[in-house]
């Protein structure tokens, strides 16, 4: 495996942009797809552990504490990148990225758990809309960050960009410390460590469905797709990064309006049947893309149009799941159920990333798409067991 340092080749620090840089840059250096996938093992594994344990800590210390800790870790990760360029080795940057991933997961778990506690139990429509808006805006801002990071990198350089971001997050941390409720999400009882594993059948089924849903996405999206665009269609870094940034922005926008797509104006609140039907619809898309590629249709057009269609349907699937976990979670210790669910999400990403590198290296993009469809079909089957509307609200 070739050795290198980031030095002047470093990109903007947000995890999505850094991930894309690592994939394309190290593949160009001669790393195999499986070797590139292995670079993300620490990041994804930290996500699994953080989500599993983070909910337990939040139940003991409060959601504001885990939010502040997440912000502090993000500042630490950025500060680590302010060292002299000669010290920015692959291992060092991967370690900083892993800390950034822990911070991201703590903040995501804290934010989504908080919404459950800030709305009355009967306001399921509002809960769905707020969850969709939070999830969608996060991804839209992430996509915008791709462009903003590149702009700041041009204007003030890598270290200036990192320092500016660290400074802004420090202000956010100070502001949140002042305004957030101190005991938000803290349970009146002290859950044991074994309570990190959910005893709710609905949460367990949804977590299993989430595992396969996000594994299905990452099997072809994370490693295989950008490498195929680079080595088969000869796109450069800018082309690949810009296209996927636009995809993430559009994906986030669709997530934010998912309640309109699923009929919120007609009083339709998602349930297990909604999740099942949308996952069945999603399963057809990688099969269609694979069939078109196998039939030698123009690969560039097939992938652009296919990925846009996949993004729309996947965004609705993700938004429905994000609402259901908050609806299913018990109010006393909501962070435990939400943390367990996002542990499954992170586990799916971990397996999907590994399979993306291995399957693409051994069998190509079409095989990745077919395996993605299999994962989504499993998601659909698991979703049959999810509660229908009358059973959505959990016992308090």
Give the pLDDT mean for 158-169.
82
Q: Which residue has the higher pLDDT, 388 or 356?
A: 356
What pLDDT does residue 355 have? 95
Whole-angstrom distance, CA of residue 296 vs CA of residue 25? 28
On whether residue 190 sits in a domain, the answer given is no
Question: CATH number for the domain including 256?
Answer: 1.20.1250.20
On whether residue 191 sits in a domain, the answer given is no
On whether residue 2 sits in a domain, the answer given is no
Binning pLDDT at 50, 70 and 90, where does residue 14 land?
Answer: very low
Whole-angstrom distance, CA of residue 32 vs CA of residue 358? 9
On whether residue 302 sits in a domain, the answer given is yes
CB atoms within 10 A of CB 174: 12
Which tens digit of pLDDT belongs to each residue from 313-354? 999 999 999 999 988 887 666 767 888 888 899 899 999 999
Which tens digit of pLDDT belongs to each residue from 192-228? 545 555 668 899 999 999 999 999 999 998 889 988 9
Measured CA angle at 98 (ends 322, 371), to 5 deg? 55
Give the pLDDT mean for 44-49.
83
Contact (Cβ atoms closer than 8 angstroms) between residue 279 and residue 310 = no
Contact (Cβ atoms closer than 8 angstroms) between residue 345 and residue 292 = no
Mean pLDDT check: name the lowest of 80-89, 149-158, 238-247. Answer: 149-158
On whether residue 177 sits in a domain, the answer given is yes
Q: Which residue has the higher pLDDT, 313 or 172?
A: 313
Binning pLDDT at 50, 70 and 90, where does residue 2 land?
Answer: very low
What pLDDT does residue 338 have? 82
What pLDDT does residue 3 have? 42
Which tens digit of pLDDT belongs to each residue from 379-394? 999 999 999 864 554 4
Q: Check pLDDT > 50 for residue 33.
A: yes
**Mean of the per-residue pLDDT values for the chain?**
80
On whether residue 396 sits in a domain, the answer given is no
Binning pLDDT at 50, 70 and 90, where does residue 8 land?
Answer: very low
Q: 88 in helix, strand or coil?
A: coil
On whether residue 288 sits in a domain, the answer given is yes
Give the pLDDT mean for 167-196.
67
Binning pLDDT at 50, 70 and 90, where does residue 284 land?
Answer: very high
Q: Which residue has the higher pLDDT, 254 or 152?
A: 254
What pLDDT does residue 118 have? 62
Pick from 207, 169, 205: which is nearest to 69 by CA? 169
Start-to-end Cα distance in the chain: 53
Contact (Cβ atoms closer than 8 angstroms) between residue 88 and residue 318 = no
Q: Which residue has the higher pLDDT, 249 or 363?
A: 363
Which tens digit of pLDDT belongs to each residue from 218-248? 999 888 998 899 889 988 877 887 888 888 8
Contact (Cβ atoms closer than 8 angstroms) between residue 325 and residue 206 = yes
What pLDDT does residue 396 have? 43
Q: Check pLDDT > 60 for residue 162.
A: yes
On whether residue 22 sits in a domain, the answer given is yes
What pLDDT does residue 4 have? 43
Domain carrying residue 26:
7-183+196-391
Give the pLDDT mean for 173-202.
65
Domain count of the fold of the chain:
1
Whole-angstrom distance, CA of residue 372 vs CA of residue 378? 10
Q: Check pLDDT > 50 for residue 9.
A: no
């Amino acid at each position: 495996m070739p050795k290198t340092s980031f030095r002047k080749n470093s990109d903007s620090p947000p995890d999505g942009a850094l991930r894309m840089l690592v994939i394309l840059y190290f593949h160009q250096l001669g790393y195999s797809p499986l070797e590139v996938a292995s670079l993300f093992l620490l990041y994804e594994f930290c996500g699994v552990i953080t989500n599993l344990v983070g909910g337990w800590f939040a139940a003991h210390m409060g959601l504001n504490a885990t939010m502040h800790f997440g912000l502090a870790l993000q500042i630490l990760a950025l500060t680590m990148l302010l060292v002299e360029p000669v010290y920015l080795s692959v291992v060092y940057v991967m370690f900083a990225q892993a800390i950034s991933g822990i911070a991201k997961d703590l903040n995501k778990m804290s934010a989504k758990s908080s919404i459950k506690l800030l709305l009355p139990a009967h306001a399921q429509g509002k809960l769905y809309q707020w969850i969709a808006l939070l999830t969608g805006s996060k991804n839209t801002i992430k996509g915008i960050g791709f462009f903003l990071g590149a702009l700041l990198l041009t204007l003030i350089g890598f270290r200036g960009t990192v320092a500016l971001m660290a400074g802004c997050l420090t202000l956010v941390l100070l502001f949140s410390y002042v305004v957030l409720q101190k005991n938000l999400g803290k349970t009146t009882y002290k859950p044991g460590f074994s309570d990190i594993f959910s005893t709710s059948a609905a949460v367990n089924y949804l977590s299993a469905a989430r595992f396969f849903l996000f594994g299905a996405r990452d099997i072809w999206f994370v490693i295989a797709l950008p490498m195929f665009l680079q080595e088969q269609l000869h796109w450069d870094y800018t082309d690949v990064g810009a296209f996927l940034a636009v995809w993430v922005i559009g994906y986030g926008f669709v997530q934010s309006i998912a309640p309109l797509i699923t009929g919120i104006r007609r009083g339709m609140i998602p349930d297990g049947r909604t999740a099942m039907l949308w996952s069945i619809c999603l399963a057809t898309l990688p099969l269609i893309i694979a069939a078109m590629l196998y039939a030698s249709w123009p690969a560039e057009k097939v992938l652009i149009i296919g990925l846009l269609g996949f993004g729309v349907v996947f965004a609705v699937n993700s938004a429905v799941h994000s609402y259901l976990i908050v609806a299913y979670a018990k109010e006393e210790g909501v962070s435990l159920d939400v943390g367990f669910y996002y542990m499954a999400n992170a586990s799916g990403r971990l397996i999907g990333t590994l399979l993306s590198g291995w399957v693409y290296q051994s069998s190509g993009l079409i095989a990745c798409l077919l395996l993605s469809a299999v994962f989504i079909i499993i998601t659909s089957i698991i979703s049959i067991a999810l509660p229908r509307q009358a059973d959505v609200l959990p016992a308090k």
